Homo-oligomer: A and B are copies of this chain.
Amino acid sequence: MKRIGLVDTTFARVDMASLAEKEIREGYGDVRIIRRTVPGVKDLPVECKILLDEGCDIVMAFGMPGKKEIDKVCAHEASLGIIEAQLMTNKHIIEVFVHEDEAENEKELYQICRDRAVKHARNAMSLLFNPEALRRRAGSGRRQGGEDVGGVHE
């Protein structure tokens, strides 16, 4: 049975991991989900790496960087750590970050979070169970958090 780690933060304002967990449970019954919560995005890389070293096959990392310049820097640092953690383990961590200033109000913020969390949950499952599904969508302008933009052809 595949093991999927979901790591989120207390800093974020939307419970994205639960949205992803629901999507995974409904679509892929035969998996084990392990959840962890850390304070902020900079605490995500090591927690994801711990889960991968403990046997998770893939991890999703959920975060919501704030509106300040320093928040952008923190997100950048976290992303670099998440990439490094993957290179150290040869496993994927699907980063699901929603920047608070992507939305103009709380309703929109929630919608972006739900769309991105759900679609990336499907991406994570495709990487594990059905890589061919991703292959068929190569270069087709897929987006998480909003509508796809489509491919450009000759």
Q: Which of A80-100 contact B (CB under 8 A)?
A: 80-88, 90-95, 99
Copies per complex? 5
What count of chain A residues pass the 8 Å CB interface test?
75
CB closest residue in chain B, given A95: B42
How many Å from the CB of A142 to the closest CB on chain B? 4
CA–CA, A13 to B143, complex, Å?
A: 10
Query: 24 A-B Cβ contacts within 8 A?
Result: A10-B139, A10-B140, A10-B141, A11-B143, A13-B150, A14-B152, A15-B140, A18-B138, A36-B131, A38-B134, A39-B134, A42-B83, A45-B86, A46-B90, A46-B93, A47-B92, A49-B90, A72-B73, A73-B79, A78-B83, A80-B81, A81-B86, A83-B84, A114-B154
Complex interface: chain B residues within 8 A of A74 (CB): 79
Question: Which of A45, A86, A153 has the most chain B CB within a 10 Å cutoff?
Answer: A86
